[in-house]
Amino acid sequence: MSNHKPRVVVVGNGMVGHHFVEYVCEQGWQGRWDLLVIGAERQIAYDRVQLSSYFQGRALDELALGTEAQYRAWGVELKLGCKVVSLNPEDKQLTLDSGETLAYDHLVLATGSYGFVPPIPGADKEACLVYRTTEDLLAIEAAARDSRSGVVIGGGLLGLEAANALKSLGLKTHVVEFAPQLMPVQLDAEGGELLRSKIEALGVSVHTARATSAILDGETARLRLSFTDGEILETDMLVFSAGIRPFDELGKVAGLALGARGGFAVDGLMRTSAPGVFAIGECASWQDRIFGLVAPGYQMARIAADTLMHDAFGAALPEAFVGADMSTKLKLLGIDVGAIGNSRGSDELPFVEFSDAVTGVYKKLWLDESGTRLAGALLVGDASDYGRLLGRYLGGSVIDGSPAALLLGEPASTGADALVCSCHQVSHSAIVKAVKDGCETLGDIKRCTKAASGCGGCGPEVQKILDTALAEAGKARDSSLCPHFGYSRQELFHLCALEEIKDFDTLLTRHGRPGAHPYGCAICQPVAASIFATLHNDHVLGDDRARLQDTNDAFLGNLQKDGTYSVVPRIAGGEITPEKLIVLGEVARDFDLYTKITGGQRIDLFGARLEDLPAIWTVLVEAGFETGHAYGKSLRTVKSCVGSTWCRYGVQDSVSMAITLEHRYKGLRSPHKLKLAVSGCARECAEAQSKDIGVIATDKGWNLYVGGNGGMRPRHGDLFASDLSDEALIDCIDRILMFYASTADRLQRTSVWLESLEGGVDYLRRVVLEDSLGLGAELSRRMQQLVDSYRCEWKAAIEDPAIRRRFVEFVNPAPTAAPELPYRRVRGQKMPLTPAQAKDLRIDIKELS
């Protein structure tokens, strides 16, 4: 028996090529093949769907779908930055641009597509770009640095994504579309017109029914677009996003059959006309159709892998490809758009339509000839029903009663075998089975089944199925805070607010469980302390509240690994005078503290003994410093760039706004720590979109983002509102933060809280902007009460003898000399010894601490 393993070469390391490899390895088949992947780009496979997030501050590395180490662990050879220039199907050989020749037994072409540039005279000018790859993003970013305006040719999905990128870069943006409406493939005339009005309201100019005849040198800008109707438009840069064309040059040279519109012609098993050669994704033409979404490409990848197993080892043939669902849900320039099935319908099909001119929402359902099943759907302005309607469409279930009820939110039963995630072909029953196998969170479901990890449109529907399955399995988690209270944090917050409860004993007496320990526990005590502080802003160490605090709040400082504490004064907005810098230096020198400038634009001092804290803070308070609340679940920092004061790109005074926000919310105690940031322009130097509350300047005001997060689970904030005035911005943040403080779970970040809200940011907008719950005035009142009653906790502590007495190392008579803690000197500053270093010096750290 031969030990030869068939060599499978995958040409293309895009999303579909990567998915082919991932699927093969998930099935455990990689050991049967000698698997080689060749990628023309130097970057490993990345999420092309999320390209525009780069312009909201996301690093390119974060878009990666895998790592080279992962490929090595799989046993898959990876060649990046290599281009295949010729294919010889008869000899089964490939030639690379380096001249190297490679043999294969089976070949998978996943070469993808390129951005189409119309044959317009002048389209090759330097400032004319395309929007397709990460290299394109960098080129667009570089061109934008010296530009004031930009035009996107193409008003489809990719064109509007490109327009969003240009707007994010601070350019006056135009969209030019040949068709009489935007998104002509997905939307009907009314939906296209509504989308146009919403986009124009954001400051983007839309030009439909326009054909560009020439691109010339401009007079007031770099370029001049000349239209066939005689009109002109001048711009500094131009981005083409007028559709895609398959990369099929290899087929033309090798004599492979091609589709009528290009692409490698394939059958239902993804086989091309050459033996042993497959094609998948946007380079494949099935029945003369090119599928430009990721879900069909993933489906093709799985079919090709299964067919290869049949050809090489006699496995069963998979079901043939019969077309794919092209439904999609996107947020274009912050506007929800969803298209399901036959979203444009036809004159022969019945439909149900909903239009709300007040809120700017348009929905349309197309039914089949019988009027009993969903044939397609169109959603503009509100796509919250997308997952539900997609399940109804994919399940093909008969509509009971009036179809109009579907537009009003009637639950849709998709059936156990209905497809929920079309990107990864995950059914309703697969999600339920994952719950039975131990998955209890949406993250678990994503890791186990990959549902909701593609385009993300099915996320809300997956969450609903998860919640239902957990309840049916008896796995629904008890919302009780701890054994002492049968209430959630949110419920306790409202009980304390309604009954004006200000102390733990009263709370436990009235609402604790029978027989509860009179002192509560380490869970409910800090939660109660936080609630009392949010509602009343009394000193956290006043009266009997000191016993409720955790280690850090108990001594108004972060406990460090060596038993000392950090000292973190507030430096609002990162702005500090030379005099205050000198004071910080003198304190650090006099008390021998390690100093560190942090990413939050503060100066942290480490290594302070407990008994030295009052003396240190006395000096700082006299110099005008306040506590930075680094120890509390509260506002930490409001990061800022220098804004319009100094920066030539700045359009608003970001430093002043950051200082205003930091001083306004410095007294807010919340379920988790809070970080804010203000950027003075769309270049986003303050990284505002990775903060709980992010503010980005526009030439008309401020854009507000909510629910961002860095750290272990990075998340970009959602755009909440655009072009807000100073007053409107602060009013929105007041209500958002107080609503968060009132409703979030214990230790729940704003990012997780926002994702847990049914309806997400759209629901939050209704609560804050439309006052849908009638809470607006109360939320504003509570925040203003906190602002008006603020006191620096350290200033109050050093002025109160009772609180000051807490800061002693020993409650019994102290030894004549406190033991010296072990330190080493590194780069001119003290640092605690590691256990190994202490051991070498024969120092017992446990004894000292």
DSSP one-letter string for 576-590: --HHHHHHHHHHHHH
The Cα–Cα gap between 452 and 640 comes to: 34
Long-range Cβ contact pairs of 309-312 (< 8 A, separation 24 or more) = 309/29, 311/106, 311/276, 312/6, 312/32, 312/33, 312/105, 312/106
Contact 251, 166 (CB under 8 A): no
Rounded CA-CA distance 348/350 in Å is: 7
Torsional sign, CA 337, 340, 346, 348: negative
How far is 496 from 540, CA to CA, in rounded Å? 16
d(CA 690, CA 469): 33
For the chain, what's the residue count? 849
CB 377 within 8 A of CB 365: yes
- DSSP assignment of 698-744: ETTEEEEEES-B-TTS-BPPEEEEEEE-HHHHHHHHHHHHHHHHHHP
Phi then psi dihedrals of residue 140, to 5 deg: -65, -45
What torsion do the CA atoms of 667, 672, 673, 676 make, to the nearest 10 degrees? Answer: -90
Task: Check the annotation: does 521 bind a ligand.
Answer: no
Q: Does 647 count as an annotated binding residue? A: yes
Interatomic CA distance for residues 763 and 770, integer angstroms: 10
Q: Among residues 192, 164, 160, 197, which one has the least CA distance to residue 176?
A: 160
Strand locations in 126-231 (E):
128-130, 149-153, 172-176, 205-207, 212-217, 223-227
Which amino acid is residue 539, in one-letter code?
A: H
Q: Are 417 and 427 in contact (CB under 8 A)?
A: yes
DSSP 316: P
Burial of 219 (0-12, 13-18, 19+ CB in 10 A): exposed
Q: Which DSSP state fits 160?
A: H
Q: Is 496 annotated as a binding residue?
A: no
Q: How far apart are CA 610 and CA 490, in angstroms?
A: 34
Pair of tokens at residue 264: 């490698």
3-state secondary structure of 345: coil
Is 685 assigned to a binding site?
yes
Distance separating alpha carbons of residues 710 and 139, to the nearest angstrom: 27
DSSP letters along 487-514, please?
Answer: S-HHHHHHHHHHHT--SHHHHHHHHBPT
Tokens of 19: 């998915």
DSSP 3-state of 123: coil
**Which segments are annotated as binding site for siroheme?**
685
**Which segments are annotated as binding site for [4Fe-4S] cluster?**
641, 647, 681, 685
**Which segments are annotated as binding site?**
641, 647, 681, 685
